[in-house]
Amino acid sequence: MAGVQVWTAVLLVGCTTAAFAQAWPTKPIRLIVSYPAGGGTDITARIIAQKLTESLGRNVIVDNRTGGGGIVGTDAIAKALPDGYTIGMATPSPITIGRALFPSLPYDALGDFAPIILANESASVLVVHPDLPARSVKELVALARVRSLNVAINNVASVHHLLTEMFNHAAGISMNNVPYKGGGLAVSDLLGGQTELLWSVLPLVLPFIQNGRLRALAVASEKRSVLLPNVPTMGESGWPTIVGSGWNGLVAPRKTPRALVARLNAEITGALNAPDVRQRFTTLGFETLGGTPEEFAAFMNAEAVKWAAVIKTAKIKLD
């Protein structure tokens, strides 16, 4: 009899949760972005938020919570109420990289979130100011061996920070890191000549590569970008181990009901499959992805293992 009562209670809870997910949303939804406006993650969030606002009939409001290389905003996601009304953007720096670099994160980088979906991915491209006398990675390394170069770091502990450190380690050079709180700010200063080079996701720099205000030397991917077919990979340039991409996903606080996570996944999948969204992401330099919450969880776990090994091998430590 007791077993029947327990099973009945479980069924009631499941039905209540499912009913809540059906009724959701009844008020605006907050989408936390851990970086300033104008960067690749912010652009992705605003495109998705617009589509969700249309499909759900409720405003999805982008909330930029900056600081700590993405840690401040990510912590806000982790500590929000798990009711489906606060979700957030997940990126490598505070999730899969930060856990190996920061021993005292205010959240469990993989355990305090309910993965929803992997939205998109972008190749990382090495760009220099056109005044820099380097037209290839080989020429850049030769130049870095005779004088100090100022390299912009779009966020501490980001993929692009690690690519810089990996490049230093592999090439036996030492560039002067100039940290920024977001990709947009880093690109702006590079355009102004305050720095000389940087690694970036393609969407932030593609227009400037196309108009000649920046020069692309290589992409850190296994194959060339279809948007930059004349730009070699780092492997083709002589550095095959330097591979890393930027990605954007969406997560909810850990205890968000599974039914709500499934509903969010379905709604965002619809947004990602919209032809205008796919076309815009492609034009910007993103590859549209998608998938299940379980697939996104497996992806983040694999990324965490990969970057932990890179950090250990290259002996990367933050000052």
pLDDT tens digit sequence for 153-163: 987 788 999 99
SS (H, E, C) 32-70: EECCCCCCHHHHHHHHHHHHHHHHHCCCEEEEECCCHHH
User: Torsion over CA of 77, 82, 86 and 89, rounded to 10 degrees?
Assistant: 40
Residue 89 near residue 51 (C-beta atoms within 8 A): no
The fold for domain 19-121+246-314 equals D-Maltodextrin-Binding Protein; domain 2 (3.40.190)
- For residue 20, the model assigns a pLDDT of 57
Indicate the angle between helix axes 275-284 and 258-273, nearest 10 degrees.
70
The two domains 19-121+246-314 and 123-219 share their CATH topology (first three levels equal): yes
> Structurally, what CATH architecture does the domain formed by 123-219 represent?
3-Layer(aba) Sandwich (3.40)
In degrees and rounded to multiples of 5, residue 23 shows phi and psi of: -80, -25
Please give the model's pTM, rounded to 2 decimal places.
0.84
Q: Is 68 exposed, middle or buried (0-12, 13-18, 19+ CB in 10 A)?
A: buried
Mean pLDDT of the chain: 91
pLDDT band at 15 (very low <50, low <70, confident <90, very high): very low
Interatomic CA distance for residues 202 and 39, integer angstroms: 11
Helices (H), strands (E): how many in the chain? Answer: 12, 10
| pLDDT single digits (tens) 172-210 | 999 999 998 878 889 999 999 999 999 998 988 999 999
Indicate the angle between helix axes 258-273 and 40-56, nearest 10 degrees.
100
| pLDDT single digits (tens) 265-295 | 999 999 999 999 999 999 888 999 999 999 9
Mean pLDDT for 51-68 is 96
Each domain of the chain, given as residue ranges in start order, spans 19-121+246-314, 123-219
In degrees and rounded to multiples of 5, residue 66 shows phi and psi of: -95, 165
Rg of the chain on CA atoms, in Å:
21
